[in-house]
Structures are given as C-alpha cells and as structure tokens.
Chains A and B, each alone.
Chain A
C-alpha cells in the first residue's frame, strides 16, 4: 500500500460515484451502495447496541437517511464510507441514549477499562490509517485511550465512564480531550 493517507482511493471513488447517482434517485445505485457498505455499518451499529433486532432497525433508518441525504455528501470532507459510518454511529448512539436507564452498573465493571487491551485487534488491521491511529492510541495514557475506545466503540457516556472509573466526570472529560489532542498531534507527526 503505497498511498498511506488514502489507501482505498479507488473504492472510495466508486462509492462516491454511486452516491451521486443515489442523490439523483437511482435505486439500483442505492442497492449497490448498500451491498458494498451494509456489513460494515451493521458491524458498527451492532457493536454499540448489541441487541440484534434494534440494530437491524437502526441499520434500516441509516440507509433511509443515506437515500434522503445523499445529495449532502461532500467528498472533500469525508470518504463515502466514513460519511455513512458516521451516520450509523450517531444513530446507534442516539438509540442507545434513548433507552430507559439500565440497572446499576455492577462494581466489577469498574475494571472494564483496564481490561480493554489495546492490541487485541492489532493483527487484523490492514488499513494504513487504522494502523496509525491504533499505534497512536497505544502512546496515550492507558486509561485515556481506554476511555476513548469505550466511547467510540461501545457508545458509553462520559457519565457512565466516570462512575466506572470512580472519578468526577470533569476529570473523565479531561482525560478524553487530552487524549484526543495528543492523538491528533501524534497522527500529524506520523503523517509528516
């Protein structure tokens, strides 16, 4: 892969071309777009919501959004898959937030963050950008990195994390923000 910053350019171009047709009301293009992207989006949603039927409902909503909003896709700002995955994550998180409050988080969950090791997925990463961000995450304070992962992958709220980690929510937010800034610096550095 000799284009580290845009490893999937040809695929992204193809998907972007499909979205242009979708914006024009082309149902066949929409189906192709769905076939190429739905497994990825379903994975993102399922990871956050876990519950299967609810995830299927959200996936359906997400693609209806894609159909309606295809014209707002801007290739200068994001790749098509990032654009669609962002819609999926946001929908899944919103659905999670709309659930009635769950039973109290068990005390054992306080150790969840420490257990969520950074390298579990490392061997599976093919994409250059994904490798870079995974590496950059490993350079963070472990609890900061774990908090970022828990929010991003599992849709956990700052409030829940603060309870689990037994710190004030302000502290938790500082961890995350500090971590993200560090992450950005590190990525900018590795890009140079």
Chain B
C-alpha cells in the first residue's frame, strides 16, 4: 500500500471523496479497508463523506432477501450480554487506582473529542496487499479509554500480528509537555499495573511496544494512561494522574 495519494481517475474528484466511495462500497483490499477504518477514527471529514455514501447506497439492501438466523445465534449473543452499568466505573478497585491524586488533574484531557467510536481497527500497512495476513497470537483488540467521569477520550487498538498499538483520536497532547509524558499501563486481573512504556498518543501514530511486554494481552485486560515524568515512571508503578482507562475487547 502506497502512502502517495493515487490519482482518482476522475477530474475534480478529491482523494478523500474517492476513498470514501471505495470504503462505502466496500471494493477495497484488506489493507485499504484497514487504512480507511483508521482514518474514520481520526478524520471527521472523511467519516462524514463515508456516511453520506453509505446513506445513499443503503436502499440497495432492500432487495436482499431477509433470512431468519437459527435460534442458536441469539442464544450465543445473549450469553455474552450482561446488562451494563449505567455509569462507567473504574474497573479496578482499591489501592492506587482509587487514590484521589490519581483522579485529580485531568488537565491533560483538555479539549477532548466528544465521542470516540471504537471501530474494528487493526494496524494498516502491516500486511502487503494481496498477501494473506497470518494473525498470530489472537484477535485484534480494541479499547475506548475514558476519563474518570466516563467520557471517552481515546480509542486504542492492538494488533497482535504487528505487535503494535495505535491511538486515535486524542486529546491535545501538547499539554503533556513540560517534562511530562503519557505512559501506558495494562492491568491484568488482580496484578499490579504493568508498564507498556511511554507513548506518543498523537492521532493514529502507532506504538511499537516490545513484543514480550504485549505477550498474552487478552480481552478483559484494562489499559490505562497516566502522566509521568519524562522517561516514564521512576518507580515502575503509576505516579502521576491517570487520565484515561478502558477495557480491551476483541475487535
């Protein structure tokens, strides 16, 4: 997949509009679709264009005959669905997680984006077009990281095939300057938070996190981002305010 904008083949048609059509229609390759899905998260103009084309094409579905699925499908869905809590809560109780200091100082959150839709999102470009991807080590994982009030701030996606984590879109990260950097943590079960390293959460930037740290990352684990001194937490545990947390689930 080339990063160069390719000619759209039509005069006056912008690349954005052409790619929006392609995505709404669905004719792109796997890599192209992944790239578009990522762009959907971080580019509202692109998202709006895709939605316009989708709305236009949607009546085509009218001629597709409905087919009643077997009851086993609902049974499987119902088994995975539990009534949600009305207010998102910090997923881990006790200890550092609930300390007042951690939840204070959401300054970093700044001008956040109103809502973050978690899309099915894996690392684009990791797979050459036409080459079948071998997703080693399980499904792609996604999480919406929300602040203490439950407001979504950041979408994170982890692609086991490439061993990378991506974030989009993001609160203004310039507020992390002044000797402070965001650090990513994972909490698995009752274990103490484990650092995945200092990160750059500029939109769409991928994080190459050492594979050994990501090994075994599973749905249900909690991702958290705290603000730490440059270079990362000096103690190996979060020391600064936690700005966002979210649970990983299969994409």
Interface of A with B (CB < 8 Å)?
Answer: 24-27, 30-31, 34, 38-40, 42-44, 46-47, 56, 59-60, 63-65, 67-69, 71-72, 77-79, 82, 85-86, 89-91, 93-94, 97-98, 100-101, 121, 124-127, 129-130, 132-134, 148-149, 151-153, 155-159, 161, 170-171, 173-174, 176-178, 180-181, 183-184, 187
Contacts and interface: CB of A to CB of B under 8 A. Distances in A.
B107 interface: no
A68 B9 CA distance: 39
A133 to B, nearest CB: 5
A68 B152 CA distance: 13
B12 to A, nearest CB: 10
A155 B26 contact: yes
B116 to A, nearest CB: 8
Interface residues of B, number: 55
A132 to B, nearest CB: 7
Contacts of B21: 176-177, 180
A24 B84 CA distance: 7
Contacts of B66: 39-40, 42-43
Contacts of B22: 158, 173, 176
Given A25-B84, A68-B249, A126-B62, A174 B77 contact: no
Contacts of A47: 64
Contacts of A59: 69, 73
Nearest to B75: A60
A86 B58 contact: yes
Given A85-B58, A134-B63, A97 B27 contact: no
B133 A98 contact: yes
Instruction: Name the residue among B26, B57, B59, B73 with the largest chain A CB count within 10 angstroms.
Output: B26
B65 interface: yes
Given A25-B83, A174-B10, A39 B67 contact: yes
A95 to B, nearest CB: 10
Interface in B17-31: 18, 21-22, 25-30
B73 A133 contact: no
B96 to A, nearest CB: 28
A97 B86 CA distance: 37
18 contacts: A24-B84, A27-B83, A30-B81, A34-B77, A38-B69, A42-B66, A44-B64, A59-B69, A59-B73, A85-B61, A86-B54, A90-B26, A93-B26, A97-B33, A129-B62, A151-B27, A171-B9, A180-B25
Interface of B: 7-10, 13, 18, 21-22, 25-30, 33, 51, 53-70, 72-74, 76-78, 80-86, 115, 117-118, 120, 130, 132-133, 249
A99 to B, nearest CB: 8
A66 B85 CA distance: 16
B81 A27 contact: yes
Given A43-B65, A125-B62, A180 B53 contact: yes
Contacts of A126: 62
Given A46-B67, A93-B33, A177-B13, 18 more contacts: A27-B83, A38-B68, A39-B68, A42-B68, A42-B73, A60-B73, A67-B77, A78-B58, A101-B130, A124-B63, A125-B63, A148-B25, A157-B27, A170-B9, A173-B9, A173-B27, A177-B9, A178-B10
A153 B65 CA distance: 11
Contacts of A25: 83-86
A159 B29 contact: yes
Given A59-B73, A78-B51, A151 B65 contact: no
A93 B37 CA distance: 13
Contacts of A43: 64-67
A26 B83 CA distance: 6
Contact of A101 (B18, B33, B78, B132): B132
Nearest to A85: B61
B81 A42 contact: no
Nearest to B135: A98
